[in-house]
């Protein structure tokens, strides 16, 4: 069983389109995250949700809108995609906001052409 699963694994789309990435965790965790990994492998947090509530929103364009329908799911919707949005997006989860260990999904490679 995959603990943190993301879909799709690969996503190729044209500039200006709107797309969504889905994330689900079966670990019973209450905190979920979205990270962006750029072409140089740099990992940077985008959002953090605890019990479906947004607790961290880093400097991310408002074209990115996370949605957490329940504690086990955190989806990422991106409007008006730009070339610079091309990256690998990772979902992660942990138990509690003070826990320093988290489990990552396998990533979604988004390519905007």
Partner 1 sequence: GENVEQHPSTLSVQEGDSAVIKCTYSDSASNYFPWYKQELGKGPQLIIDIRSNVGEKKDQRIAVTLNKTAKHFSLHITETQPEDSAVYFCAASKNTGFQKLVFGTGTRLLVSP
Query: What residue ranges bind partner 1 (CB under 8 A)?
Result: 4, 31, 33, 40-45, 48, 55-56, 90, 92, 94, 96-107
Written as six digits, the tokens of 30 are 């209450």
Q: How far is the CB of 107 from partner 1 (least distance, A)?
A: 6
Burial class of 83 by CB neighbour count within 10 A (0 to 12, 13 to 18, 19+): exposed
- Which residue, 27 or 45, is less far from partner 1 as judged by CB? 45
How near is the Cβ of 75 to partner 1 at its closest, in Å?
A: 17
Smaller CB separation from partner 1, 80 or 95: 95
For 15, residues 6+ apart whose C-beta sits below 8 A from its C-beta are 81, 82, 83, 112, 113
Paired tokens of 84? 């610079």
How near is the Cβ of 28 to partner 1 at its closest, in Å? 16
């Amino acid at each position: 069983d995959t603990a943190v699963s993301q879909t799709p694994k690969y996503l190729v789309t044209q500039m200006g389109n709107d797309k969504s990435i889905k994330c689900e965790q079966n670990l019973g965790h209450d905190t979920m995250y979205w990270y962006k990994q750029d072409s140089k492998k740099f990992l940077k947090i985008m959002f953090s949700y605890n019990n479906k509530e947004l607790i961290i929103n880093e400097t991310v364009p408002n074209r990115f809108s996370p949605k957490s329908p329940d504690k086990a799911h955190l989806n990422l919707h991106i409007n008006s995609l730009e070339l610079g949005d091309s990256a690998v997006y990772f979902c992660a989860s942990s138990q509690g906001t003070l826990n320093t260990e988290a489990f990552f999904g396998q990533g979604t490679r988004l390519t905007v052409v």
